[in-house]
Amino acid sequence: MAVQILTVLGSTGSIGVSTLDVVARHPDRYQVYALTGASQVDKLHAQCLAHRPRFAVVLDEQVASQLHAMLRASGSETEVLCGEAALETVASAPAVTSVMAAIVGAAGMRPTLAAARAGKRVLLANKETLVLAGRLFMDEVTRCGATLLPIDSEHNAIFQVLPRAYREAPYAGSLRDAGVKRILLTASGGPFRTRPLETLPQVTPDEAVRHPNWSMGRKISVDSASMMNKGLEVIEARWLFNAGVDDIAVVVHPQSIVHSMVEYVDGSVLAQMGAPDMRTPIAYGMAYPERVESGVASLDLFSVGRLDFEAPDFARFPCLKLAFDALRAGGAATAVLNAANEVAVEAFLDRRLGYTGIPALIEAVLAECDGQVQAESIDALLDADALARERATAWLARLR
């Protein structure tokens, strides 16, 4: 067993912290090469002392010099780098074998792409990479011989129950040839699944980030409440598994025990289950094709008691419908959807936009950008992302 040399992009976030928890359990298997974070200097400093990476990367100069001073004062030799280009450098450095892509949002796309182009083992948590640039990213993974392992719990579950030959090279065949009829993507339904519809305009950021089953970063928590998260995950599944949009069905499952399922042509439905703890998919991705201990508690089926399943409600969750529509529209529509959603969620968390304003803003921006955006290159997609952010910001300004 060769030791994996790991870069954790977004180490200070929810996924980053869970990743380092798994790493710390297996010092014989994993060594940390680089850690990165946007602003939480104290946390990054503590992580550097615990994991002794060669590099720590932050976004701005001031944070970099602060971190550098703190590290030297603690006797650490970790070198501090700064800026977006440095993220790409530590994601693609020759010494690195594996990259955990756990930056939140479209900001994670370039370093994740750099890791894929360098042929790394890419542990993909940053679903926005696939929503923004799914086709081109998957092309690069194939062209450059990268190993892509999904960390998002649903996609990790699907990966686990797909035939091995298919999951490792989905673009060499088709789901049909692999005997797969449908992918059943489960969704918890979030905190507002049963809340009276007429009270949704009053939802506060605190209510939206309080997920019933999972503890996650703020942006994905709001996405889970609106079910945009499931919409982004449908798009993610489309690209990861070379699936058609009609091959993917969303199933609401409030207990979050079944993490997703695959239905085969013979009628078999295979599910992956477990306690809702991201250390399971993280440990799976890190050790694949082996299994390692993750620190996750045993699933206590007697205390779970029952498993419920419901159809998704598109009237309650218009963001889910917008995501399906954008995927069907194709081209750069999903890039526009993602960027508009990021602006909307940030405005909602800052109390500049009401909860029901989120789908309203996204729908307006999709309409405004229709016919104005291209998807044939990464630069074209980044232009689409920028245009959508500009239109979304202007839309917000008109609200005032």
CA distance 119 to 143: 9
Dihedral angle over CA of 135, 136, 137, 142, nearest 10: 90
The residues facing 260 across adjacent strands are: 272
**From residue 375 to residue 394, what is the string marking binding to ligand NAD with x (rule CB under 6 A)?**
--------------------
DSSP 8-state symbol, 296: P
Place of tokens 């989905």: 170
184: helix, strand or coil = strand
The answer to whether 128 contacts Mg ion (rule: CB under 5 A) is: no
Q: Which of residues 316-345 bind Mg ion (CB under 5 A)?
A: none
Cβ proximity to ligand NAD: between 13 and 312 the closer is 13
Least distance to ligand NAD, CB of residue 349, Å? 11
Nearest approach in angstroms of CB 103 to ligand NAD is 4
In this chain, which stretch among 187-195, 216-224, 292-300, 383-391 interacts with ligand NAD, using CB under 6 A?
A: 216-224
What pairing do the DSSP bridges indicate for beta strands 248-252 and 258-264? unpaired
Residue 102's binding partner among Mg ion, ligand NAD, none (Cβ under 5 to 8 angstroms by kind) is ligand NAD
Instruction: Figure out which of the listed residues 5, 6, 15, 118 binds ligand NAD, where binding follows CB under 6 A.
Output: 15
- CA diameter of the chain: 63
Looking at the Cβ atoms of 281 and 331, the one nearer to Mg ion is 281
Query: Any contact of residue 16 with ligand NAD (CB under 6 A)?
Result: yes
Stretch that binds Mg ion, among 55-63, 75-83, 144-152, 285-293 (CB under 5 A): 144-152
Token couple for 253: 């499952």
Q: How far is the CB of 268 from ligand NAD (least distance, A)?
A: 27
Span 115-134, contacts to ligand NAD by CB under 6 A: 125-128
Q: What is the DSSP letter of 39?
A: S
- What is the closest distance, in whole angstroms, from the C-beta atom of residue 128 to ligand NAD in the complex? 5
Residue 59 found at the interface with ligand NAD (CB under 6 A): yes
Question: What is the pairing mode between strands 258-264 and 269-273?
Answer: antiparallel
- Binding status of residue 216 toward ligand NAD by CB under 6 A: yes
**Tokens describing residue 288:** 């694949």
**CB atoms near residue 145 (< 10 Å):** 10
**Which one among 10, 53, 285, 318 touches ligand NAD, defined by CB under 6 A?**
10
Q: Which residues, numbered 152-191, are part of the site for Mg ion (CB under 5 A)?
A: 152-154
**CB contact set of 184 (below 8 Å; sequence gap of 6+):** 249, 251, 260, 261, 262, 263, 269
Among 213, 214, 360, 380, binds ligand NAD (CB under 6 A): 214
Q: Which amino acid is at 145?
A: G
Q: Which of 4, 6, 7, 12 binds ligand NAD (CB under 6 A)?
A: 12
Contacting ligand NAD within 177-206 (CB under 6 A): none
The DSSP-derived string for 341-386 is HHHHHHHHHTTSS-TTHHHHHHHHHHHHHTTT---SSHHHHHHHHH
Identify the three-state secondary structure at position 33: strand
**Nearest distance, CB of residue 36 and ligand NAD, angstroms:** 6
Please give the sequence-ordered ranges of beta strands (E in DSSP) within 130-179, or none if there are none.
147-150
Distance of CA 150 to the CA centre of its chain: 9
Footprint (CB under 6 A) of ligand NAD, residues 250-269: none
192 vs 195: CA distance, rounded Å: 5
Size of the site for ligand NAD (CB under 6 A): 25
Q: Pseudo-torsion of CA 215, 186, 318, 336, nearest 10°?
A: 80
For ligand NAD, give the closer residue by CB, 56 or 369: 56
**Residue the block writes with tokens 């339904």:** 189
CB of 179 to ligand NAD, least distance (A): 28
Q: Which residue is nearest to ligand NAD (CB)?
A: 13
Which chain residues interact with ligand NAD by CB under 6 A? Answer: 10-16, 37-38, 59, 102-104, 107, 125-128, 152, 214, 216-217, 219-220, 278
